[in-house]
Amino acid sequence: MTIVKPSQLSSSSSSPLCSLKGSLLTLAVLTFLSLFYLSLNSLRTSPPSPIVVGANHLPHTFAKEEDENYSDVYHSPDSFRSNYAEMEKRFKVYIYPDGDPNTFYQTPRKVTGKYASEGYFFKNIRESRFRTLDPEEADLFFVPVSPHKMRGKGTSYENMTVIVQTYVDGLIAKYPYWNRTLGADHFFVTCHDVGVRAFEGSPVMIKNTIRVVCSPSYNVGFIPHKDVALPQVLQPFALPAGGNDVENRTTLGFWAGHRNSKIRVVLARVWENDTELDISNNRINRATGHLVYQKRFYRTKFCICPGGSQVNSARITDSIHYGCVPVILSDYYDLPFNDILDWRKFAVVLRERDVYDLKQILKNITQSEFVSLHNNLVKVQKHFQWNSPPVKFDAFHMIMYELWLRHHVIKY
């Protein structure tokens, strides 16, 4: 073993050649570390490079960008993102196979008109990834009886209640799944106003099951934390979606319709002759021109949405589609996806007594505030659109997400 003496080490270190080599080596290492740090930092902060892909096949690199774009319309964007992803992977629904599909079961009556939401759901759930043929792995059970189809075949309300009760009693007797939770993990879907009443002959359906309905009024027994508000969507839309057209919206407010509720009678009486609010005391006659009613939505800032015979109205989703900020005028209405979306970010939510101050309330909204409401409205349009086959984040998936949230509460 050779021992290096201190004098030898000192002599070697003082060599000019060794000193130069050491300096160059140190400089190279520092340069490499600096470049590595800058590259790593760039990867963390720079947005991903644009990639042209189909709307239904967005890469994961766009997840962060999407969160930033939509975070201001959700109550909790992080929870929505994570829970939605979990739902897509795990949620399973069993559809009871009993019942003649040519009568009132399984298949929708149609997927057009103001009750299209019921038809679309029946069609979408049957063809979706969420359906399971094994009831033992199901999170929820769908009772596929369609009051809308009954109504289309001329079934009376009294006969509807008998048909529903007989059908449900048959499922309870034949299958063991109802009795495990007394129906708490079962749900039915109806958009027709009469459809809600059709289940009154089966009190256990009203009390225990999840009701997915277009008439989510508190004063008719709707329970927000249990039931689900189904958006009433009049599809197909007559004209393309509105958006990025703020400068064309010169009319302050618009409403046209039948006076079939107290709030509509007051709205028409107070504002029908106003010069700044376009309030029509009846539906617009088609003879006045092609799609005149729909085109009014394009020219208006705020579209008034008072409750009719029921609190729900397809006018709300019409307003959203055409880019006209909806003004909700109802005391009893659990708005669709209200526990997910912050409606006050893209709509004006008022009490019925505010109808007397309606014009001043709308005029007090500044242009910048209106632009913000309008821009957020465009962001949520996809949530109020039905598709076949369904598309990620559309109305069908939002309803499934609502059901997914509720199944955690009643899972035994």
**Domain residue extents for the chain:** 75-234+390-405, 246-384
Peptide bond into 389 cis (omega under 30): yes
What pLDDT is stored for residue 344 in this prediction?
95
Please say whether the beta carbons of 318 and 297 come within 8 A: yes
Neighbours of 80 (CB within 10 A): 18
Q: In this predicted model, which residue has the larger pLDDT, 287 or 229?
A: 229
What percentage of the chain carries pLDDT values higher than 90? 48
Residue ranges with strand state E in 88-185: 93-95, 131-132, 140-142
Residue 48 has pLDDT above 70, yes or no: no
Instruction: Indicate the pTM of the whole model.
Output: 0.80
What pLDDT is stored for residue 395 in this prediction?
97
Q: How far apart are CA 292 and CA 176, in angstroms?
A: 54
Q: In this predicted model, which residue has the larger pLDDT, 225 or 320?
A: 320
CA–CA distances in Å: residue 379 to residues 301, 362, 376, 401: 16, 22, 5, 18
Q: In this predicted model, which residue has the larger pLDDT, 4 or 362?
A: 362
* Residue 147 binned pLDDT confidence (cut-offs 50, 70, 90): confident
**For tokens 């096949």, what's the residue?**
57
Residue 211 amino acid letter: R
Per the structure block, which two tokens stand in for 210? 């999840």
Q: In this predicted model, which residue has the larger pLDDT, 147 or 388?
A: 388
Q: How far apart are CA 66 and CA 84, in angstroms?
A: 14
What pLDDT is stored for residue 1 in this prediction?
42
* CATH of span 246-384: 3.40.50.2000
Partnered with residue 236 across adjacent β-strands are none
* Residue 64 binned pLDDT confidence (cut-offs 50, 70, 90): very low
Q: In this predicted model, which residue has the larger pLDDT, 98 or 22?
A: 98
Lowest-confidence region among 123-137, 275-289, 389-403: 275-289
Q: In this predicted model, which residue has the larger pLDDT, 291 or 373?
A: 373
Please say whether the beta carbons of 388 and 123 come within 8 A: yes
Residue 61 has pLDDT above 60, yes or no: no
Residue 39: partners with Cβ closer than 8 Å, 6 or more residues away: none
